[in-house]
Amino acid sequence: MAGPLSGIIRYRTLSKWVEGSAVIKRAGHVPNIRRFAYRHPPGRLPGFLAVRAILLGAGGGMGMSSQPAPFSKPSSRLLTLWDVVAMLLVIGALVLLAQGSRGLMQPLPKPGFGAIGLDPSALPGYALHTSLRMLAAMALSLLFTFTYATWAAKSRRAEQVLIPLLDILQSVPILGFISVTVVFFMSLAPGRMLGAELAAVFAIFTSQAWNMAFSFHQSLRTVPKELAEASRSFRLGSWMRFWKLEAPFAMPALVWNMMMSMSGGWFFVVASEAISVGDTTVALPGIGSYIALAIVERDLGAIFWAIATMLAVILVYDQLLFRPLVAWSDRFRFEQEAVAAPPRSWVLTALRRSRLVSLALTPLGKAWRWTYRPPPASAKSRPVAHRKIQSRQAAWLDRLWYGAIIAVCLAALWRIIAFVLEGVAPTEAGTAFLLGLATMARVFALITLASIVWVPIGVWLGLRPRAARIAQPIAQFMAAFPANLLFPLAVSAIVALRLDPDFWLSPLMILGTQWYILFNVIAGASTIPGELRDIGANLRVRGWLWWRRIALPAVFPFYMTGAITASGGSWNASIVAEIASWGDTTLEAHGLGAYIAVAAKAGDFHRVVLGIAMMSAFVVVINRVFWRPLYALAERKFRLG
Amino acid sequence: MDTLDITPLLDIRGIRKSFPRPDGGELLVLDGIDLTLREGEIVGLLGRSGSGKSTLLRLIAGLSAPKAGSITYLGNEVDGPPPGIAMVFQSFALFPWLTVLENVQLGLEALGLPPEEIRRRAIQSIDLIGLDGFESAYPRELSGGMRQRVGFARALVVHPNILLMDEPFSALDVLTAETLRTDFLDLWSEGQLPIKGVILVTHNIEEAVLMCDRILVFGSNPGRILKEIKVELPHPRARLDPLFRDLVERIYVEMTTKTDAPAGKRIERFAGTGIGTILPRVSTNLLSGLLEAVAAAPYGGEADLPVIAASLHMEIDDLFPVAETLQMLRLAEVEGGDIRLTEEGRQFAELDTDQRKRLFARHLLNYVALAGHIRRVLDERPEHRAPWSRFADELEDHMSPGAAEQTLRAVIGLGRYAEVFAYDDQTHVFSLDNP
């Protein structure tokens, strides 16, 4: 038998033979699979075996492995195609980085849109700047995650403060954040672009970091007990344990959250590039400022060019960053069974197969492994007896700690209230509350509407694997696309048709976030076990009964995840959706988002802080009282298996 | 045997270990353990789940600290994971993102040896254990038996003095487990393993007799050593050898003998009067099944435990909870390594379903105090409803929260079969409703 199939069959039988090796071993025949493989040099192995051999051999080249695995042999040519591709990618990235950061130390342009032009040929440059801001924010978020989440996971006392703090930070409206922090950042590098850039990057960071930190913390807390015991019993130091066990274990969830963060981040990148606080308007070079200028000049054509550029940027990010990362993190998957089709990425393959890259990484790998060596004084791991003493003083220290936390919280609360009352009358809080109710009503109504529309469609798509395969990436793409690029189109229509802003501005809030509901429901429907569907067909369950008993309960947990994300996103979007302008006309709906936006534009910090505090309070209360119990119900009652 | 006084590898005296309870008390898990390990011997810790043997193993490995007593390894007090003790785990504990070679090298990298020596020793160890050629495979590509071989290679490569094994073969199928056991014993007898002593934790009686030189039989509640049994059969041992079967029988007898419990200590096996008894979760299918199996030919109502365990392919962790529950219900008696049906037990095997349920209900309410108590409370209340927490709080006065939940779930299963009360898991309410 010839061809790739023979290779597979021979490999399979050989491995089973090796397993039952006891009898054969004692008789003196030690099976050696390496001998079989060397009969076919890697370059000419058929199909399956070739790919497997190369991936096994080169798979160790990325990350933290030591020596080339037995299967790979040095190629006879000096430079392969993959080397060229990898070089182009790496050097191209460096060049772009250099070009983008050239403008950092330039002096600030005069306030207003002076430095921005509406010429479409400037768009690639602007796209570059926007992307770089996103990357910088992502790097910052990663750094934050590794330090903050690790600290919270290792120290019980720190955890009691850090995790609720993270929860609150997640609920604070991001765009409200900008107006308060931009002045601080501009003062760090007065008169230069760097300050404004820092402010924008910080705003994007606040939209990305929190869920990454949560996910990393959660993973650190759920490291499998036996792996942790194995690490300790082999006397791995804590640094080595972190990089060999804890970080790899957390990697798949972290990468997934990074992707979610990046998708949600484009919205804030665009919104934070044209910062106007009080009299200051800073327009950083980027797609956001381009759009802002186009709105002022009522240039519909420019808006279309911007949308097209944004589509291209997201596609490029997807290919060059998203997919390679997801494919790379598949290596760290903890479940031991092989899943249907592991994700693939041509970028990752190029980097893995290129010899130049692995040559460059080897000295880095050696240096990294050098950090693993045990401390020279042959120190024992922290003596176990030490912990016994701590438990007695622990109760005392706990009380002190709680007292300190309460004191700090009270002080902060007093400070905030004092600041707000300086500039506004106490009755203003009542106004803000009523406006918050209006926004809340809008958000709930829109989520309900979006659910009624998208849940049936999502279930229909999810039950058909081919349709799901096409639809899910599209829905994810739509979720990533910043909806605020589409706002000017809608606003110009509303102005032209003289529609009521209170009613017609509302759908803008859900425009970008409804896709979360859709792709989560698609994911949920596609994982309904085949047996449940078969039983439904077998017992001829149809119509509303089928929906009520089979489809809806099965997708309910996934729907909850989508709805919670959509709700949070809508609150954030309300700040830019409830007040919108086209040229000279400004449309304003009644709501808390408009309140904050107006106050920020006027530079009235007291009202801004009041608005932000009110919105955070609303989001936190709604989460605790409504979303969390529902989510717990979904987990408890509707979890499959 | 030479009579020189050799320093034992491991010397354990008077170990006590307890875990703090949420209400402030303490749950005693190990009570007064003494153990000595000398060079060249395999010591087995044999007992049911929950008898503290895995806890003891982790104390020896330095992964936790005892409340009282001392553990001396090569003359030094154990204070954190000592060099020279390596462990093999029940679920293999391999790192999924490292290849076989990288997994095996892990312990050596932590020792800070030069890279060439690390690689050389790792490949040697992999070769010894029979996985030559699989160095670049990932654990998810390997079967269970091969993964455990990697676990062995990883433990042996650091040249430990003592190898600790925590139920290493219980996650494998019967054939693979047998292959690995015989491979290990071969390497051990030929002196090819770099280790000096082995401690093996297991709940499989035949495995213990097959592998160990000394067996320490553990009891539970609290964990303590019931008896030490020396196994002086020559290797290789045969399961059908009469001496082998005698030893197995002896151990069954040891584990099923009733003792008069000294005042103050909880009764260890098969007693069960007050509501403070921890009940195991046993399905009523298993209860009926065992009763029918013992009542049928060739046992005719009285069976030798090792024989019926072997024929039903049940290990002690499967068999003893069922037998214990039957004993509590006075449907069978377990004594001296045998199980004997009572008069009602024989009747049960003959009756049809409805009559069985009635007989079962009578015995349940009479002999299982918790079930009778629940029924009484439900009868007294006007709406005949009571929440889970009412009984859980009461049980937690006598046992840990985990044991309370397990006991309550067990009694719910029995009560539902007997149709003496109902339980709704959504609202967590007991009631007398007929659903």
CATH number of the domain bearing residue A310: 1.10.3720.10
Chain A residue whose CA is closest to B104: A234
CB-based contact (8 Å) between B119 and chain A?
yes
Answer yes or no: is pLDDT of B357 > 90. Answer: yes
Closest CA of chain A from B67, distance in Å: 9
Of B63, B98, B179, the CB nearest to A229: B63
List Cα–Cα distances, A529 to A333, A463, A470, A600, in angstroms: 22, 10, 20, 51
CB-based contact (8 Å) between B143 and chain A?
yes
Tokens 């190898």, located at residue: B163
- Higher model confidence: residue A598 or residue A77? A598
Of B102, B112, B182, the CB nearest to A65: B102
Answer yes or no: is pLDDT of A27 > 80. Answer: no
Q: Using one digit for the tens of pLDDT, what is the confidence trace for A279-305? A: 667 788 888 888 888 888 888 888 888
Report the percentage of chain A scoring pLDDT > 90. 12
- Higher model confidence: residue A604 or residue A308? A308
Last residue of a domain, one of A56, A72, A88: A72
**What Rg do the C-alpha atoms of chain B give, in angstroms?**
25
pLDDT at B128: 92
Answer yes or no: is pLDDT of B268 > 60. Answer: no
Query: Do A58 and A155 belong to one domain?
Result: no
- Higher model confidence: residue A380 or residue A86? A86
Answer yes or no: is pLDDT of A158 > 60. Answer: yes
Answer yes or no: is pLDDT of B156 > 50. Answer: yes
**pLDDT band, very low/low/confident/very high, at A376 (cuts 50, 70, 90):** low
Q: Is B134's CB within 8 Å of A226's CB?
A: no
Q: Which of A492-496, A620-624, B143-147 has the highest mean pLDDT?
A: B143-147
Answer yes or no: is pLDDT of A67 > 60. Answer: no
pLDDT at A76: 52
Neighboring chain B residues of A34 at a CB cutoff of 8 Å:
132-133
Among the listed residues B198, B357, B367, the one whose alpha carbon sits nearest the alpha carbon of residue B287: B357
Among the listed residues A617, A574, A594, the one whose alpha carbon sits nearest the alpha carbon of residue A442: A574
Domains along chain B with CATH numbers:
10-255 (3.40.50.300), 269-435 (1.10.10)
Mean pLDDT for A604-624 is: 86
Element (H, E) at A312: helix A300-317
Q: Using one digit for the tens of pLDDT, what is the confidence trace for A205-252? A: 988 898 899 999 989 999 999 999 999 999 888 889 999 999 999 998
Neighboring chain A residues of B65 at a CB cutoff of 8 Å:
384-385, 387-388
Answer yes or no: is pLDDT of A491 > 90. Answer: no
**pLDDT band, very low/low/confident/very high, at A49 (cuts 50, 70, 90):** very low
pLDDT at B112: 83
List Cα–Cα distances, A593 to A274, A449, A512, A575, in angstroms: 18, 20, 16, 4
In a domain, A561, yes or no: yes
In a domain, A326, yes or no: yes
CB-based contact (8 Å) between B137 and chain A?
yes
Among the listed residues B15, B97, B86, the one whose alpha carbon sits nearest the alpha carbon of residue B56: B15
In a domain, A92, yes or no: no
Answer yes or no: is pLDDT of B2 > 80. Answer: no
Query: Do A259 and A305 belong to one domain?
Result: yes
Query: Do A169 and A314 belong to one domain?
Result: yes
List Cα–Cα distances, B101 to A550, B95, B135, in angstroms: 47, 11, 5
pLDDT at A437: 93
Beta bridge partners of B76: B73
Of A97-111, A610-624, B71-85, the one with minimum mean pLDDT is: A97-111
How far is Cα B302 from Cα B339, in angstroms, rounded to an integer?
6
How far is Cα A398 from Cα B120, in angstroms, rounded to an integer?
50
pLDDT at A22: 33
How far is Cα B433 from Cα B435, in angstroms, rounded to an integer?
6
Mean pLDDT for A11-39 is: 32
Query: Do A44 and A109 belong to one domain?
Result: no
Chain B residue whose CA is closest to A252: B97
pLDDT at A115: 66
**What Rg do the C-alpha atoms of chain A give, in angstroms?**
28
pLDDT at A487: 85
- Higher model confidence: residue A42 or residue A418? A418
Answer yes or no: is pLDDT of A355 > 50. Answer: yes
Answer yes or no: is pLDDT of B394 > 70. Answer: yes
Of B79, B86, B132, the CB nearest to A380: B79
Interfacial A residues in 64-103 facing B (CB < 8 Å): 65-67, 69-71
- Higher model confidence: residue A276 or residue A540? A540
In a domain, A346, yes or no: no
Mean pLDDT for A434-458 is: 93
Of A22, A69, A237, the CB nearest to B136: A69
pLDDT at B422: 93
**pLDDT band, very low/low/confident/very high, at B398 (cuts 50, 70, 90):** confident
Q: Hey, how many other C-beta atoms are within 10 angstroms of the C-beta on A231?
A: 25
How far is Cα A134 from Cα A131, in angstroms, rounded to an integer?
5
3-class SS at A586?
strand
pLDDT at A341: 63
Q: Is B106's CB within 8 Å of A385's CB?
A: no
Closest CA of chain B from A154, distance in Å: 17
pLDDT at A612: 86
3-class SS at A614?
helix
Query: Do A56 and A121 belong to one domain?
Result: no
Neighboring chain A residues of B104 at a CB cutoff of 8 Å:
none
Q: Using one digit for the tens of pLDDT, what is the confidence trace for A457-467? A: 999 998 888 88
pLDDT at B241: 92
In a domain, A121, yes or no: yes
pLDDT at A283: 81
How far is Cα A38 from Cα A72, in angstroms, rounded to an integer?
10
- Higher model confidence: residue A278 or residue B179? B179
pLDDT at A114: 66
pLDDT at A272: 83
Query: Do A68 and A105 belong to one domain?
Result: no
CB-based contact (8 Å) between B96 and chain A?
yes
In a domain, A204, yes or no: yes
Q: What is the mean pLDDT of chain A?
A: 77
- Higher model confidence: residue B3 or residue A573? A573
Answer yes or no: is pLDDT of A18 > 60. Answer: no
Mean pLDDT for A354-374 is: 80
Query: Do A418 and A509 belong to one domain?
Result: yes
Amino acid at B5: D
**pLDDT band, very low/low/confident/very high, at A17 (cuts 50, 70, 90):** very low
Q: How many domains does chain A have?
A: 2
- Higher model confidence: residue A186 or residue A518? A518
pLDDT at A30: 32
In a domain, A383, yes or no: no
Burial state string for B66-95 with b = 16 or more CB within 10 A and e = fewer than 16: beebebbbbeeebbbbbbebbbbbbbbbbb
Closest CA of chain B from A628, distance in Å: 18
In a domain, A534, yes or no: yes
pLDDT at B335: 86
CB-based contact (8 Å) between A13 and chain B?
no
pLDDT at A340: 55
Query: Do A438 and A527 belong to one domain?
Result: yes
pLDDT at A40: 28
Closest CA of chain B from A234, distance in Å: 5
Closest CA of chain B from A602, distance in Å: 53
Among the listed residues B204, B188, B206, the one whose alpha carbon sits nearest the alpha carbon of residue B244: B206
CB-based contact (8 Å) between A382 and chain B?
yes
Torsion of CA A532, A538, A544, A548, to 10 degrees: -30
CA B368-B373-B375 angle, 5° bins: 100
pLDDT at B36: 92
Greatest CA separation found in chain A? 93
List Cα–Cα distances, B282 to B287, B294, B411, in angstroms: 7, 17, 9
Q: Using one digit for the tens of pLDDT, what is the confidence trace for B95-133? A: 999 999 999 999 898 888 888 999 999 999 999 999 999
CB-based contact (8 Å) between B101 and chain A?
yes
Q: What is the mean pLDDT of chain B?
A: 88
**pLDDT band, very low/low/confident/very high, at B23 (cuts 50, 70, 90):** low
How far is Cα B92 from Cα B140, in angstroms, rounded to an integer?
12
Query: Do A63 and A207 belong to one domain?
Result: no
pLDDT at A418: 82
Please give the ipTM for the structure prediction: 0.83
Interfacial A residues in 286-345 facing B (CB < 8 Å): 331-334, 336-338
Q: Is B179's CB within 8 Å of A22's CB?
A: yes
Answer yes or no: is pLDDT of A104 > 90. Answer: no
Which letter does DSSP use for residue A45 in this model? -
Query: Do A228 and A178 belong to one domain?
Result: yes
Q: Using one digit for the tens of pLDDT, what is the confidence trace for A314-350? A: 888 888 888 888 888 888 888 755 555 667 788 888 8
Query: Do A167 and A46 belong to one domain?
Result: no
Of B85, B101, B110, the CB nearest to A240: B110
The reported pTM is: 0.80
pLDDT at A282: 77
Last residue of a domain, one of A52, A72, A92: A72
CB-based contact (8 Å) between B79 and chain A?
yes
Report the percentage of chain B scoring pLDDT > 90. 62
CB-based contact (8 Å) between A24 and chain B?
no
Of A69, A227, A369, the CB nearest to B93: A227
- For A39, the domain range is 1-72
**A378 Cβ neighbours under 8 A, 6+ residues apart:** none
Query: Do A46 and A176 belong to one domain?
Result: no
Tokens 């199980």, located at residue: B339
